[in-house]
Structure 1
Amino acid sequence: MRTALRTAAIGTVSAALLAGPAAAGAAAAPAPAVSPAVSPDAYGASGATGVRFVDIEGDGGTVLKANAVVPSDWDGRRRYPAIVLPTSWGLPQTEYLAQARKLADSGYVVVSYNTRGFWQSGGRVEVAGPPDVADASAVIDWTLANTPADPQRIGVAGVSYGAGISLLAAAHDKRIKAVVAMSGWADLIDSIYSGRTQHRQAVGLLGGAGYLTGRPSDEMKQILKDFLGSNLAREQQMIDWGWKRSPAAYVDRINDNGAAVMLGNAWGDTVFPPNQYASFYEKLTGPKRLEFRPGDHATPEGAGLLGLPNDVWTSAHRWFDRYLKGVDNGIDREQPVQLASRSGGAYEGYPDWKSVGATERKIALDGRKKIYANLDSGANGGTVILSSALDQFLKLPPMAVVPFLPRSFAAVWQSERYGSEQRLRGAAKLHTTVTSTKKSGTLVAYLYDVGPLGIGRLISNAPYTFHGETPGRPFNVDLELFATAYDVPAGHRLALVVDTVDPLYIEHNPSGAQLTFSSSAADPSYLSVPLRKK
């Protein structure tokens, strides 16, 4: 259903997508290599990495607060590759200062700016709308005019909100040669409305931070109200709005422009889950790299923002060195898909995303199970940001005692005990038949690693919402769980749990609703688990 709605949305917003921001389109031509309007003296004493806090005129004259950092050896004649960094949602312009200094020390001009509507920058929060994309090009214009930036070697990067804007900018501005998008989104709809289910905690967190640190636009306020209020009458408008802000809608233009794109994300990202990044990665045709690690939203690269050693930022520096400086550092010869398992161990390299879970094992979901809706069974996906961060740092994912889950509110299936370690890589897929006593409803599927004592450690989950079904008539459900990398120890088993309530999501179960899960010889229900051979 969501695919059909999205297809309709493409037609609705196609004119806006092609037009893009006028400023971005005008900025696509390379700027002439002229001397910058300022001298090295404007950045401080010679021999030190210089920093200037500046105002940059963005789209429509909006003032963007920014800082510019130049290499210490700038003598007024040299040109350097340049990197533009839009800030994350709700964070100030100093967010990237530690990394900007590191990049400048290695020979880059770096300009970081506070996205419109936040902190002291002007305008309203447009949620990566056309003015934000135009702002990125305006910042590039300013960088070329006011720093020793080389117009042929421009990169953009960002974390979270900055990552999304960076990818959108690469679709609209041909000057951008390299992108590093960390903990961002490629498909905004699939991120916050996957399975046609509102991700309540994620959107609530973003909305609250937007009001606290910024000035939301009227459009953003209306979208938040409709989304959190489950206004299905405006569902198509919400999808149009989100798809217009999705880099996936512009993937052909990104490919045509030819920027080298590196994507990084966390397995447990509760704001922008990994599946949508993997799907987008597969559609890119230029130089590309995909990295997944343990953690939650922006936690893998967080230490790097403080200037501490960090794998994500190390990869980012190598990516820019290769595609902006031309350094033969070997990153282009490595396997382009790099994964770190949540269970620990060295990074694993794959030639593409399809190879990650090349072997699939099906777990039969036999029998007929009926559950009552409207009550949390005790199985849930945890808390936004916190739960997967605890898994990252302390190996403490959300847990449930599977034998004690109430079968009246949770359907449970378990595999046999495995005699050897099972290396789960990628996205598990659920296929089942559901019969509801109501025309609408929500179910949430959880995959657990269950030890000998029955304690289940959450591996993955995903929600699914339906509307307009005929009560009493069976219908098929196909649900892809959030991708992960997890090693199930020998002697453990997998358990699939399905219930109807999770604090992470908005549920649509009418009072008194019941769901029945069934399987038949003609259409068996199963869970397909992607495995990596040893």
Structure 2
Amino acid sequence: PDIADVSAVIDWALANSPADADRIGLGGVSYAAGITLLASAQDPRVKAVVAMSGWADLIESIYSGRTQHVQAAAMLGAAGYLTGRPGPELKTLLGNFLGSRLDKEQEMIEWGRRRSASEQVDRINANGAAIMLGNAWGDTIFPPNQYAKFYERLTGPKRLEFRPGDHATAEGTGLLGLPNDTWTNAHRWFDRYLKGERNGVDTEAPVQIKSRSDNGYEGYADWKSVGAGGTEKLALSDSEHLFANVDSGANGGILLLSSALDQFVKAPPIASVPLLPRAFAAVWQSERYDRARRIRGTAKLHTTVTPTKGDGTFVAYLYDVGPLGIGKLVSNAPYTFHGKTPGQAFGVDLELFSTAYD
């Protein structure tokens, strides 16, 4: 019904205003961003889209690593109750998701797929709308990885922008009418693909990112090129035996707050690495670097886990550790397993949330 609403608005505008059927664009933030992408798959009249702080893959957004992103799901549910009237289906889905109803897992995944533009990318490409995507590195509701993967599958005119911040904070000031890079480029995108203006937005490098550590932009030909500057592998040492269900002191911060602090005052979540209790946290450190390192794209962890129980969750954290042992969070990601044989090792390949950090 929400997608049908978009087409109904277009129908109304064409019937009751001087709107031009060949110049229809959709723009939105968060929920509206996801809706604009889905609508561009269903309504070929849409010629241009700007989707800011949205989702392309709902499952990868709040269930990556097969792990419930509890704060994100609770925030989305609360927003629904505050601003609308959640129906029985959504109420049941949220209850099952937050209640860890694994017997309903496949049902929840199918629910998410039907609401993911990544599942309809062929229709979006066939309709040919020009798609601009914008998001923040630290978006705790819709992380950047899923947007980047979706962007790579688009075949029409496209642009991808990543900046420091959390959910909707990168474009937040623009909602108040204040100067804002995201909104400036959104207007340029619409001017180019709806008005036909030759303003240069289509000749710039289509992937534009800003590091969390400085204020400059970097342009790339595609998402793969972001991490193409070289890969460094750090070998993990001997195995560690860990006790579970005790807070190690490492964490990804607080929804909306922590990444906003990183954006505005460059203060990411921190932890004292020497004080992390080794009974509850496996800690591996590289040698001290004698020059700066530029992290771009997606860090990956490969490890082996031998569980004492069949179900469990762990979280990987990548820290930038200073001389006093204070680690600034570079990235992290969770991983959950179910139905494993106790005492039998299994391999894990985990992508951390994409970032740009110096």
Length-normalised TM-score, structure 2 = 0.99
- 2:251 match: 380
Letter of the 2:205 partner, please give it.
Q
The answer to whether 1:152 aligns with 2:22 is yes
1:209 pairs, out of 79, 89, 93, with 79
Letter of the 1:364 partner, please give it.
A
- 2:48 match: 178
SS of alignment partner, residue 378 of structure 1: coil
Q: How much does 1:346 deviate? A: 1.2
The answer to whether 1:369 aligns with 2:240 is yes
2:168 pairs, out of 291, 294, 298, with 298
Q: How much does 1:433 deviate? A: 0.6
Higher RCO (C-alpha under 8 Å, 6+ residues apart): 2
What is the distance in 1 between the residues matched to 2:288 and 2:156? 43
Q: How much does 1:418 deviate? A: 1.1
Letter of the 1:420 partner, please give it.
R
- 2:151 match: 281
1:464 pairs, out of 329, 335, 338, with 335
SS of alignment partner, residue 374 of structure 1: coil
SS of alignment partner, residue 21 of structure 2: strand
- 1:442 match: 313
- 1:512 match: none
1:119-138 equivalent positions in 2, closer than 5 A? 131-138=1-8
What is the distance in 2 between the residues matched to 1:277 and 1:209? 22
- 1:338 match: 208
> RMSD over aligned Cα, in angstroms?
0.6
SS of alignment partner, residue 263 of structure 1: strand
SS of alignment partner, residue 179 of structure 1: strand
1:10-49 equivalent positions in 2, closer than 5 A? none
Q: How much does 1:213 deviate? A: 2.3
What is the distance in 2 between the residues matched to 1:411 and 1:423? 25
The answer to whether 1:267 aligns with 2:153 is no
Q: How much does 1:436 deviate? A: 0.4
The answer to whether 1:428 aligns with 2:308 is no
SS of alignment partner, residue 369 of structure 1: coil
- 1:399 match: 270
What is the distance in 1 between the residues matched to 2:78 and 2:159? 33
The answer to whether 1:419 aligns with 2:285 is no
Letter of the 2:257 partner, please give it.
L
Q: How much does 1:212 deviate? A: 2.2
What is the distance in 2 between the residues matched to 1:137 and 1:286? 21
- 2:219 match: 349
What is the distance in 2 between the residues matched to 1:171 and 1:199? 27
Q: Deviations over 1:201-226 (max 9, x none)?
A: 11111111211222101000000000
The answer to whether 1:224 aligns with 2:70 is no
Q: Deviations over 1:315-366 (max 9, x none)?
A: 0000000000000001111000000000013100000000001111100012
Q: Deviations over 1:172-207 (max 9, x none)?
A: 000000000000000000000000000001111111
The answer to whether 1:455 aligns with 2:318 is no
1:191 pairs, out of 53, 58, 61, with 61
Q: Deviations over 1:432-451 (max 9, x none)?
A: 11000000000000000000
What is the distance in 1 between the residues matched to 2:215 and 2:46? 35
Asked which structure has the greater CA Rg, the reply is 1
SS of alignment partner, residue 288 of structure 2: coil
SS of alignment partner, residue 249 of structure 1: helix
Q: How much does 1:376 deviate? A: 1.0
Letter of the 2:28 partner, please give it.
G
1:103-142 equivalent positions in 2, closer than 5 A? 131-142=1-12
SS of alignment partner, residue 156 of structure 1: strand
What is the distance in 1 between the residues matched to 2:129 and 2:312? 43
Q: How much does 1:388 deviate? A: 0.1
Letter of the 1:342 partner, please give it.
R
1:235 pairs, out of 100, 105, 111, with 105
What is the distance in 2 between the residues matched to 1:269 and 1:212? 21
Letter of the 1:152 partner, please give it.
D
How many residues end up aligned between the 2 structures? 357
- 2:178 match: 308
Q: Deviations over 1:292-322 (max 9, x none)?
A: 0000000000000000000000000000000
Q: Percent identity?
A: 73
What is the distance in 2 between the residues matched to 1:282 and 1:346? 23
Letter of the 1:312 partner, please give it.
T
Q: Deviations over 1:454-473 (max 9, x none)?
A: 00000101000000100000
SS of alignment partner, residue 4 of structure 2: helix
Letter of the 1:473 partner, please give it.
Q
Letter of the 1:432 partner, please give it.
T
Q: Deviations over 1:396-415 (max 9, x none)?
A: 11000000100000000011
What is the distance in 2 between the residues matched to 1:297 and 1:461? 17
What is the distance in 1 between the residues matched to 2:39 and 2:178? 28
What is the distance in 1 between the residues matched to 2:201 and 2:79? 36
SS of alignment partner, residue 184 of structure 1: coil
Letter of the 2:204 partner, please give it.
E
